[in-house]
Structure 1
Amino acid sequence: MADTSQRALRLLSLLMARHQWSLGELASRLGVSERTARRDIETLRGLDYPITTVRGPGGGYRLDTGHALPSLRFDDDQALAVAVALQTAPSTVFGLADDSARALETLTQAMPARVRASMETLRLTRLRNYWEFPAPPVDPDTLTAVAGAVRHRHVLAIGTLRPDGSRALPGDTDFAPARRVEPHHLVVWAARWYLVAYDLAEEAWRIHRVDRLVPRPTTQPFTARALPGGDVARFVMTSHDRGDTPTAWPCTGTARLDLPAGVVARWAPGGSVVEHLDADHCRLTLGAWSWAGVAGILATFDTGITDVTPAELVDACHRLAERWSAAAGPTS
C-alpha cells in the first residue's frame, strides 16, 4: 500500500509538471508496467483529480483544471520559493495578509524537516510603507548567507558594493574594508531587503541594504542584544541612514524640510535618502518620473521646505503653486 501511495504522489507530480504524457512515458518514469501505471491513474481519478484521456495518435493523459483546487505537490526548491514569495509579496492588494499567513502556515506544516529549516533561515520581518518602488534584485547566495547568519547567530563580515553594483577594490577612493557585524534581523520594507546589525567596530546599531552587501559568513557565535526601543519596525522606519542610495529616476532633487529625520525617514519613498541636519530639520533627496512628481511628494510632508535644488525642481514648485492656487479659488 505504501508503494502504491508513493507512486500515486509521484504520478501526480509528473502530471503537474507537463501538459501531457503518453502511458509509456509515465510507466517508464514510475518504473512500473503500463498496466500498473493505468491503475495508478484510476487511483488518482478516484480521489477527484481531473485526469483526461487524450485519444488518437500522440495521445496520452493530462491533468485538467478541476472545479476545486486539488492537493499540490512541490519539490524542495518549489516549496521554498512559494514560502519566500508569501513573505515578500508586495502589499498592493488589500485584505490578503491573513490569507497569506494561513497559506504559509499550511505550507510550513507540510514541509519535510530539511525544507522547513531552509525556510526558517529566510524567516523575515516585512514592514509597510505607502510607497513601493522597484528595487535591485538580491543575489540568492547573498540572501542565503545573510539569513543563515541571522538564524544561527554568527558574526558576519560584510563589504559594501558601489551604488552601481560594482565592487570597489583596494586602492580605489571609495574602497572600504570588510566590517564585522552581529546580524540580528532581516527586514523587507518598501520592496527592499535590509539587515539590522550591531557593528562591532563602531559599537553601534546599523542598517544595511542587503543588495549592496558582500557577505562572508563566519562560525563565531554571538549573544543576542536588545534592540534600542525593542521594536524593529519602528527602528528601521525611523532611521535616517539605511544605506540607501537614490533610485535612478529621470528627475532627482533635494530639499531641506522642517521635520526631524526620523519622521521623514518613516514616510519617505524607498530609494530616497534622508540626511540628518539637526533635531528639527533634515534634507531629503528623492526622485520621480517628472519634476512635478518630485514637488508633489515633497508637498505631502506638509511642512516648511527650503533650499530646493535643482532649478528645474524650483520651477516645478512654482507651477504647482499656481495650479493649487487656481484650484483653491479666491480666499474668503
Structure 2
Amino acid sequence: MTSDMTARALRLLSLLQTRREWSGADLAERLSVTVRTVRRDVDRLREMGYPVHSSRGHTGGYRLAPGADLPPLLLDDEEAVAIAVALHTAAGGLTGIEETALRALAKLQQVMPRRLRSQVTALETSLAGITWDSRGPRADPALLATLAVACRDHEILTFDYTTRNGTTTPRRVEPHHPVASGDLWYLLAHDSGKNDWRIFRLDRLTHPTTTGRRVPPRAIPGTDPARFVAHRISAAPTRYRAIATVHASADHILARTRGLATRIHPIDQTTCRVDASADHLTHVVQTLASLDTDYTLDADPHVLDHLRTTAHRALQATK
C-alpha cells in the first residue's frame, strides 16, 4: 500500500512539472483516483517539502512553484547548476536531443530557487562566446526557454520579426513548436495576423512577450512539426540557385550530409539531385563540398564565379 502511494506521489510530481497549472479533476483522471485522493497526495508532497500551491474556485487548481530550496530527493545546489548549464549547451549544440533538453530545462527552471538562477545566468554568460558564437547564427538559450514554455502552455506570444529583406514587423502568434535545423532554430506558430502557419528564424526574432492568454491547441497540417518546418524551409525562395546532379544514390548522400533531407531527390539507384541553393554563396560552397563525390552543376553565374574563385584560392594555397 505504501509503495502504491509513493509511486502515485512521484507520478503526481511529474505531472505538476509538465504544466503550469492542473485542475484537481484533471489530475484525478490522469492518476485514476478521486479528487479527494489527489488532495491527500498533494498534502503528502507538501510534507516532503515540495512547494505545491493551490487556488480555489471554478478555475482553481494546483501548481508547482519555486521554493526556498530545491525539492528534496532530487538535486543539490551544485548538481542543479551543473545540469542547467549542461542542458543549455545541449539545447544549442548536440544534434538530436535539443527539444528533449529544452523540456528538461523548463522543468528544472520552474522549481529552481532565485539564488541558483543567478549562478546559472553567470555561467551561461561566461560560456556564451564558446558555446554559441563559433557556429554561426544561434538562438539565445533564454529565448529558447521562453518559447518552450509558451509552446507547452499554448500561450499567445508577441514579438518583433525581421524578414530576409530587412523589414521588421510586430507579430502575434500561437506558438506550437521550436524546431532545430542544422545551426539554426525555428519557431513553428500560427500567425494571427496572417491567419496561417508560419515559421520564424529565432535569430531574427526579438522582444518576445507572453500575453497571459492561453488558447486550445491547434492541430498543424500533418503530424510531424519537424517535417512540416523542413518542407517550408526547402520551399522558401533563395537568392542563389544551385542544383547538383550527383553520381551517387540519394541514400548515400543522405547518410553523409546534415540538414539536406528535403533537398535530396533520387533520380535512379545511382544518381540523385541535390538542391544546394541558398541566400549566401558560402553556404552553397559548403553544401557542395559536403557531397564528397562527383557531380554536375546547374547554377547561377554568381555561384559559378564564386566557385571558380574559391577553387583558385585553394589551388594557390597548395603551391
TM-score interval, smaller chain: 0.3 to 0.5
TM-score by length of 2: 0.45
Higher helix share: 2
Q: Which is higher, the Rg of structure 1 or of structure 2?
A: 1
